[in-house]
Structure 1
Amino acid sequence: MNVLVVGGGGREHAICWKLAQSDKVDKIYCAPGNAGISAVAECVAIGAEDIDGICAFAKDNAIDLAVIGPEVPLAMGIVDQLEAVGVKTFGPNKKCSQLEASKSFTKDFLARHDIPTAGYKEFTDKDELLDAVGIFGYPMVLKADGLAAGKGVVIAENEADAKQAIEEMMGDKVFGHAADKIVVEEFLTGVEASMLCFVDEHTILPMESAQDYKRAFDDDKGPNTGGMGTYSPSLLFDAKIESEIREQILEPTLAGFQKDGLDFKGVLFIGLMLSDDGPKVIEFNNRFGDPETQSVLARLDSDLAEVFLAVTENRLADIELKWKDDKAVCVVLASGGYPGSYEKGKLITGLGDVDPDVIVFHAGTKFADMPEGSKCAACEDGCEMKQSAIVTSGGRVLGVTALGATHDEARAKAYANAEKISFDGVQYRKDIGLIHRW
């Protein structure tokens, strides 16, 4: 079959990489893709949010299955429109996509169905929120209600920081209209973990666990990012925790979907806090997490195309997921300055030096745009590297992902290969996989 993957980041590279291993797949297209994705799929110059363009391409190229990566086109209703032109599409429809597009929608859902989560209150008036500073004590958790590229959460340590954050979010609009409404939450203590689940209208099927690292710097310091690395499976999960998650979160969530008429089909990403009071939901996302996907799919032994089809056809109950015993670690190499302002177009070197059993998933890369006859910065005598020279084009650039028989072996291999890759301003955390040991 012909498959179209929508998106151009590390998550989409991992999806395309895994789909390319399927006997069911004849051709993979990716819109818009990136330099790394081009090795396993044909990249087409259509933006992920150009829904009309994507629908037209799908019809013209006999696409049998579309897979939607990013959250924005999901919230825009891309699944509804692709299905309207006869394309099977993996991902939740516009109604279900509110679970990520609106924090308050999700908090109300969790409260309505008695699913463990932090206490919360919603605010649309800045002055009212300023008067309520410290409502749950400190640290104070402030979440932009709408989509903010994974960066719309501020954890204020004191009153002054909280008031400054409120002014920036609701006054200066640093997250645009996403913060027209702010959800204030009780601060949860514990360790964060992530669980990805395949979901259709009858079944919720969890994947192996992963742990994500959101803060920019070592020791979990600095601003929140889209994710600086992951490992899978989480060393914090055991049979007791998995049982609690299934009974207290997964089963009530599926029942809640059915009761509320949310015909969810796709991936439900559950951000969890493993607290002394048991697991609690931090957030729902409507799609594969990034970079959790890189470490989780690297360990998946099942045919991903078959799983996607089963979800679209509401026969997920027939699927038994198979996993490699190997552990996986993904270290994100980011542009200098990320998640703030950063420069693009930095030449990436060392990609050819990476061990053959290590996977480098591209997130923010493109081929260098050099005119004929120009010289590549990587060579002194002309431009033989013109087609292979790859430069940075985003905040998170690469996800160096390694498998190993043990967690420590995978971690050592990921870092050894991360050190082989370089670009001007490269930054990455040195403690991915270690946070649980502090």
Structure 2
Amino acid sequence: VVKADGLAAGKGVIVTEDRAAALEHASTYLPHGPVLVEEFLSGPEVSLFFLSDGDTVRPLAPAQDFKRALDGDRGPNTGGMGAYSPLPWLTDGFGSVEAFVDEVTRTVAEPVIRELDRDGTPFIGLLYAGLILTEQGVRVIEFNARFGDPETQIVLPRLETPLAELLMASANGTLEDHAVPAFSDEVAVTVVLASEGYPAATITGREISGLDEAEQVDGVHITHAATANQDGRLIATGGRVLNVVGTGSTFAEARERAYAAIGLIRLEGGQFRSDIAAAVATS
């Protein structure tokens, strides 16, 4: 894994087993600063958010996002082209989703929070753990001190515990008085609509239409990421333009709703992956 230095939202990264490809990628960025070479980790990725008040840690629900631009996890890395939650396949290796969450809370999140507290820099807020499930166990890819995109778009719709209460408790140091947040059994799938050329050479300024029709699809809502109103027209202003979120009682239903809605949205050159949550919808 070769990464360009600095925050790149997942871009500027190559994951390869080809040494020549890695060296070529690194040479592109070396004139502009250092690069970071990381161990190659093989396995499914999981994102898990934690709330912390500097002492107590409370986990949210795990999610999986799709970083590559193209179907079949091909193409360049992006900031995320879609995501889904819950993750029923976690039961295969951990017995239950709850057992997985408990293990990561105990072995990853809590030790980090404890160490930061010992250093006199208590962490208060949202800790985002990017994880990979290898044959050797759970490994951490990255931490972020924020909600993750696009995972947040499908984790929060399933959250039954009031988010405001959890955030307030994190801020005022009373998170220990709150139980682990509760989530519904509902399934959520989000598909990202991106501009032409994303992530390498994004073309912006094009008009978006069809959102009113898309939002009429049952169980669908749309979150905007890079849009602006320009003389009464909705314009794409960045790479990942918006998220179409579908919810339902099954993965097949949530996925069908999300794709039915995104199919109604018109953006010249717009692109999206067609395989988000496909594997779990058919399993």
Note whether the superposition's TM-score is higher than 0.5: yes
Separation of aligned partners in 2, 1:346 and 1:319: 46
Q: Which residue of 2 aligns with 1:99?
A: none
1:25-424 mapped onto 2 (5 Å cutoff): 141-171=1-31, 173=32, 180-238=33-91, 239=96, 240-320=99-179, 321-354=181-214, 355=217, 357-368=219-230, 370=231, 386=232, 389-424=233-268
Q: Which residue of 2 aligns with 1:51?
A: none
Amino acid at match of 1:351: L
Q: Is the partner of 1:343 in helix, strand or coil? A: coil
Q: Which has the higher strand share?
A: 2
Q: CA deviation at 1:435?
A: 5.2
Separation of aligned partners in 2, 1:323 and 1:189: 29
Q: Deviations over 1:174-196 (max 9, x none)?
A: xxxxxx33332111111011101
Q: Deviations over 1:52-91 (max 9, x none)?
A: xxxxxxxxxxxxxxxxxxxxxxxxxxxxxxxxxxxxxxxx
Separation of aligned partners in 2, 1:245 and 1:363: 30
Separation of aligned partners in 1, 2:132 and 2:45: 5
| Contact 1:212/1:291 (8 A) holds in 2 | yes
Q: CA deviation at 1:270?
A: 0.5
| Number of positions where the alignment pairs a residue of Structure 1 with one of Structure 2 | 273
| Contact 2:69/2:273 (8 A) holds in 1 | yes
Q: CA deviation at 1:145?
A: 4.0
Separation of aligned partners in 2, 1:232 and 1:307: 20
Provide runs of 4+ in structure 1 moved above 6 Å: none
Q: Which residue of 2 aligns with 1:430?
A: 274
| Contact 1:219/1:435 (8 A) holds in 2 | no
Separation of aligned partners in 2, 1:160 and 1:254: 39
Q: Deviations over 1:346-379 (max 9, x none)?
A: 11111111225311001111112x3xxxxxxxxx
| Contact 2:218/2:257 (8 A) holds in 1 | no
Of 236-245 and 213-222, more deviation after overlay is shown by 236-245
Name the Cα RMSD after superposition. 1.8
Separation of aligned partners in 1, 2:34 and 2:23: 15
Structure (1 or 2) with the larger CA radius of gyration = 1
Q: CA deviation at 1:331?
A: 0.4
Separation of aligned partners in 2, 1:299 and 1:288: 15
Q: CA deviation at 1:290?
A: 0.6
Change in CA separation of 1:144 and 1:343 when aligned onto 2, cut-off 3 Å:
closer
Identity %: 44
Q: Is the partner of 1:219 in helix, strand or coil? A: coil
Amino acid at match of 2:110: E
Q: Is the partner of 2:3 in helix, strand or coil? A: strand
Q: Is there any run of 5+ residues in structure 1 with no aligned partner, and where?
A: 1-140, 174-179, 371-385
Separation of aligned partners in 1, 2:144 and 2:194: 23
| Contact 1:244/1:279 (8 A) holds in 2 | no
TM-score w.r.t. the length of structure 2 is 0.91
